[in-house]
Amino acid sequence: MIIAVTNLKGGVGKSTIARNLAAYFIKQRVKTCIIDTDLEQRTTCDWQERRDNSEVHIPVFPMTTVNALPKDVETHSADGYQIIIVDGVPQMDQVATRTMLISDILLIPITPSIDDLKSFERFLTRFEEVNIHRRHPDIFGAQQIRRTQ
């Protein structure tokens, strides 16, 4: 199962939720890893590297490239990860679109402000556009998704 924590807003707790969820599943003995899709900040990769070794080990892998995200997920699934948590990027770009395409569950944290609610509405509009393409199996090869707003 692929669970993505994503939102076009920054600093809303995506990475924190991704890490806590991973810790929970691992403590339940479910083989779980995180893919950090934010190749600029790499905050969850850095977080994993500085963690105390005596704490529960949470595997974190950086996304290879945007186009390789579906392949990354396949690779980690083949390695036996039952739950793959995608730590999302704070913008509406190709990473966010691909994250929507590959995920079984999308978690969208928001803070209680009108600005966040408005950006959440834009996110939902984008999701509805992308959701149509989820039924097309060759979407990754065809790269049909285009931003329309």
- Name the site residues for ligand ATP (rule: CB under 6 A): 10-16, 38, 43, 90
Query: Which of Mg ion, ligand ATP, none does residue 76 bind (CB under 5 to 8 Å by kind)?
Result: none
| Cβ–Cβ under 8 Å, residues 3 and 21 | yes
Give the shortest CB-27-to-ligand ATP separation in angstroms. 19
Give the shortest CB-41-to-ligand ATP separation in angstroms. 6
| Interaction of residue 14 with Mg ion, rule CB under 5 A | yes
Give the shortest CB-11-to-Mg ion separation in angstroms. 8
Q: Which residue is nearest to Mg ion (CB)?
A: 15
Q: How many C-alpha atoms does 83 have within 13 Å on its Cβ side?
A: 21
| Interaction of residue 9 with Mg ion, rule CB under 5 A | no
Residues 35 and 99: their CA atoms lie apart, in Å, by 11
| Cβ–Cβ under 8 Å, residues 63 and 36 | yes
Alpha carbon separation from 131 to 9, 66, 71 (Å, rounded) = 20, 18, 20
Q: Residue 13 CA to chain centroid, in angstroms?
A: 13
Query: Which of Mg ion, ligand ATP, none does residue 10 bind (CB under 5 to 8 Å by kind)?
Result: ligand ATP
